[in-house]
Chain A
């Protein structure tokens, strides 16, 4: 049962334009969401996060939007740069008990930014 889904395996964008990466989740217990960026043969690095009490969080060129009613979140990168080319994973966490701190990841979206 895939509780966190990234339905677009890949996305191609021109440099300077906006990149929008999408993520859907099914478990209404999730209350904290994160985006990670991963280059080949390296570990993922944390990018940005959002708590379920917010609907938007911004950090420089990166903004994450959360729509709780639709169980959907998105990552906007503006403007996109060639160095942003990587695999992006969304992840979700639920509170409490032995699940505390445990992350459930989506399948990832490969972003390619063309010069």
Chain B
């Protein structure tokens, strides 16, 4: 069964701590993406990667970091520098040579206490 998995589903963190969100896909997709969703807002792009060992900042990269050491994995670290980290985080993937359609994981709800 091909798909995208994100773990954990719910995550709580104390203010000032870094936390890493997991994203794994077995769809053989080249490109992977991280989005953030806040109430009443659309999906905003944090980082994306079109190929292993390469990634680009999206529209709201400040306070976040990523790595892409394997094609299947694209973990996102929410650092203590992120001012408003409480949000719903979504990971997606797509073929690099096929414009448009991205497939999303189930999301991780991060709450900073």
Q: Does B26 contact A (CB under 8 A)?
A: no
Given A89-B43, A101-B50, A32-B104 contact (CB < 8 Å): no
Measured between alpha carbons, how far is A35 from B42 in the docked complex, in Å?
13
For chain A, residues 35 to 59, give those with C-beta under 8 angstroms from any C-beta of chain B: 36, 41-46, 49
Given A43-B107, A98-B56, A105-B50 contact (CB < 8 Å): no
- Which residue of A4, A43, A46, A95 has the most chain B CB atoms within 10 A of its CB atom? A43
Whether A89 lies near B42 (C-beta < 8 A) is yes
Measured between alpha carbons, how far is A89 from B44 in the docked complex, in Å?
12
Whether B109 lies near A41 (C-beta < 8 A) is yes
Given A44-B90, A95-B99, A107-B40, A100-B104 contact (CB < 8 Å): no
Whether B105 lies near A43 (C-beta < 8 A) is yes
Whether B41 lies near A107 (C-beta < 8 A) is yes
Query: Chain B residues near A32 (CB, 8 Å)?
Result: 99-100
Q: Does B45 contact A (CB under 8 A)?
A: yes
Interface size of A by Cβ–Cβ distance < 8 Å?
Answer: 27
How many residue pairs between the two chains, A and B, have CB atoms under 8 Å in the bound complex? 70
For chain A, residues 83 to 112, give those with C-beta under 8 angstroms from any C-beta of chain B: 89, 91, 93, 95, 98, 100-108
Contact of B90 among A4, A43, A49, A91 (CB under 8 A): A43
For chain B, residues 24 to 58, give those with C-beta under 8 angstroms from any C-beta of chain A: 31, 33, 35, 40-45, 48, 50, 56, 58
Query: Chain A residues near B44 (CB, 8 Å)?
Result: 105
Sample 16 A-B pairs with CB under 8 A, ordered by A number: A6-B42, A41-B106, A41-B109, A42-B107, A44-B43, A45-B104, A46-B101, A46-B103, A49-B101, A95-B99, A101-B31, A101-B94, A101-B102, A103-B33, A103-B102, A107-B40
Given contacts A32-B99, A43-B92, A103-B33, 9 further A-B contacts (CB under 8 A): A41-B106, A43-B105, A91-B43, A93-B99, A101-B94, A101-B98, A103-B100, A105-B35, A108-B41
